[in-house]
Amino acid sequence: MLGFGKHQTRPGLMLIEASAASEAGMNPLPFKHLPLIVKIAAGIAFFNSWVLFEEIVVDRQGLWRYMPFYRVGDFCVWDLTVALLILFGLWRLSYRGTHG
């Protein structure tokens, strides 16, 4: 079947089992060993998810009326809080000990 080997389930799709990956020397990489640009991209992705949640759920459904100090369409305390939580989470993942 097109020469993909025993791991192929259908043409164009090759699945590698976890045992085969570990045999090849491919181990999972902890978050703290990732480059800084990857960590920044992860933070931006999480904050972008928050902004999309704000736009799609909070603003359109009118939930902002029940959120104190929330400003529609402007940076507010809620955005700052989420940004700080994301930064703390990424910092924690980057600098935690080896014992987890």
Helix-strand-coil percent breakdown of the chain, rounded to 5?
60, 5, 35
pLDDT digits (tens, 9 = 90+) for 30-65: 889 999 999 999 999 999 999 999 999 999 999 989
In three-state secondary structure terms, 92 is helix
Residue 27: per-residue pLDDT: 83
Sign of CA dihedral 44, 49, 54, 56: positive
In terms of pLDDT, which residue wins out, 3 or 90? 90
The domain locations on the chain are 29-95
Residue 18: per-residue pLDDT: 57
Q: How far is Cα 68 from Cα 62, in angstroms, rounded to an integer?
A: 13
Rg of the Cα trace of the chain? 21
Q: How far is Cα 55 from Cα 21, in angstroms, rounded to an integer?
A: 41
Question: Tokens representing 66?
Answer: 């029940």
